[in-house]
Amino acid sequence: MAFYLLRRIGETFVTLLLITLLVFCLTRLTGDPAALLLPPESTEEARQYFRVHHGLDRALPIQYVTYLRNVAAGDFGMSFRLNEPAIDVVWRALGPTLSLAGAGMLLSILIGMPLGIIAAASSRPWVKSVVSGYSSLGQALPPFWTGLTLVLVFALWIPLLPTSGYGAAKYYVLPAVTLAISTSSAIAGLTAANMSEALKNDFIALERVLGLSEARVLLKHALRNASLPIVTYLGLQFGLILGGAIVTERVFAWPGIGQRIVEAILARDYPVVQAVVLVTALMFMLINLLVDLFYMVLDPRLRT
């Protein structure tokens, strides 16, 4: 297990290095970084000073090592627009995004898993049809449109909830539901498929013969067997929900990293773009690493 763990951490590290290389190449190979990273109105002297000052006149591999050292120290340079270190902009935006993604994920699991279990356990065909219809429809709905439609109905036509903003619990309802509609439908589909497989096992039939309660059979034994692929999938879904949050934040003026990266792209504020991409990648990979560890806890066969 220790070996497996070390290998996974090593792989994560290599992947992270490759992502820094990718981001590095994106800024260095698409033109003159001095032109790209300095405001367009700056003079030629300022650009030359910038090149020498940042070592941009040196060989690319040396530049990459310098870049890596800065990134490892959390130094992505100053944001052009906000006149503060780019990494600070990201840290401030990370809290709102993570709390929104967390709320969305929780709601998705609370809606998706019961729906999946009901679909697998029910003997009525229409129940299965309704759940599989929800599953297909939910995944075809683009989150920004779901969000706008929810705003139109529940904030403008029936003024129950705020249209946008950040803070108290009522601000979370519409964005979290928006995220949950697409994610819970995916979770429901996968849970249903894995539960139906698990219910075909002989020990399930045996337990029913032995007179265990249906709830116990379903929730304790079948669900435990179905949970491995579901947990892996939840890890993947967290990446998707972060992606969905980026778009959803734009609909609800949520002060998270999605807002920041879109503003930064429109203002050509590259240090902030790079900081958002690398921090999100790091977070996403750590989550996947945690999912793998959790996997080992759930499946004793992997522990040896």
Partner 1 sequence: MSAASRSLFAFWRRSPASAGEAPSLPWLTFACCALLVAAAIFGNWIAPYSKEAVSLGASLLPPAWQQGGSMQHLLGTDQLGRDILSRLIAGARISLATAAAATLLSGAFGVLVGLVAGYVGGIVESIAMRVVDAFLALPFILLALALVATLGTGFGNIIIVMVIANWARYARLVRSEVLSVKHRDFVTLARIAGVRPLVIMLRHVLPNVLNSVVVLAILDVGRAIILESSLSFLGVGIQPPDVSWGLMLADGRTLMVFAWWLTTLPGLMIVFAVLSFNSLGRWLHVRFDPRGQL
Binding site for partner 1 (CB under 8 A): 11, 14-16, 18-19, 22-23, 26-27, 30, 36, 136-137, 139-145, 148-149, 151-152, 156, 239-240, 242-243, 246-247, 250, 261-262, 264-266, 268, 270, 273-274, 276-277, 280-281, 284-285, 288
| 214 Cβ neighbours under 8 A, 6+ residues apart | 121, 208
Give the nearest distance from C-beta 205 to partner 1 in angstroms.
22
| 77 Cβ neighbours under 8 A, 6+ residues apart | 37, 70, 85, 86, 271
CB nearer to partner 1: pick between 17 and 110: 17
Q: What ranges in the chain are assigned the alpha helix state H?
A: 2-29, 33-37, 44-53, 60-72, 86-121, 125-140, 143-151, 169-199, 202-209, 214-216, 223-252, 257-266, 270-298
CB nearer to partner 1: pick between 52 and 137: 137
Contact 287, 235 (CB under 8 A): yes
Give the nearest distance from C-beta 137 to partner 1 in angstroms.
7
CB nearer to partner 1: pick between 11 and 214: 11
For residue 26, what are its two tokens? 């994106």
Give the nearest distance from C-beta 269 to partner 1 in angstroms.
9
Q: Point out which residues pair with 85 in neighbouring strands.
A: 78
Residue that is written with structure tokens 């967390």 in the block: 102
CB nearer to partner 1: pick between 30 and 43: 30
Alpha-carbon distance of 35 to 186, in angstroms, equals 44
Helix orientation angle between 86-121 and 223-252, rounded to the nearest 10 degrees: 130
For residue 98, what are its two tokens? 């993570």
Give the nearest distance from C-beta 247 to partner 1 in angstroms.
5
CB nearer to partner 1: pick between 227 and 274: 274
Give the nearest distance from C-beta 37 to partner 1 in angstroms.
11
CB nearer to partner 1: pick between 191 and 259: 259
Contact 89, 79 (CB under 8 A): yes
Give the nearest distance from C-beta 244 to partner 1 in angstroms.
8
Give the nearest distance from C-beta 217 to partner 1 in angstroms.
27
CB nearer to partner 1: pick between 262 and 296: 262
Sign of CA dihedral 18, 16, 285, 2: positive
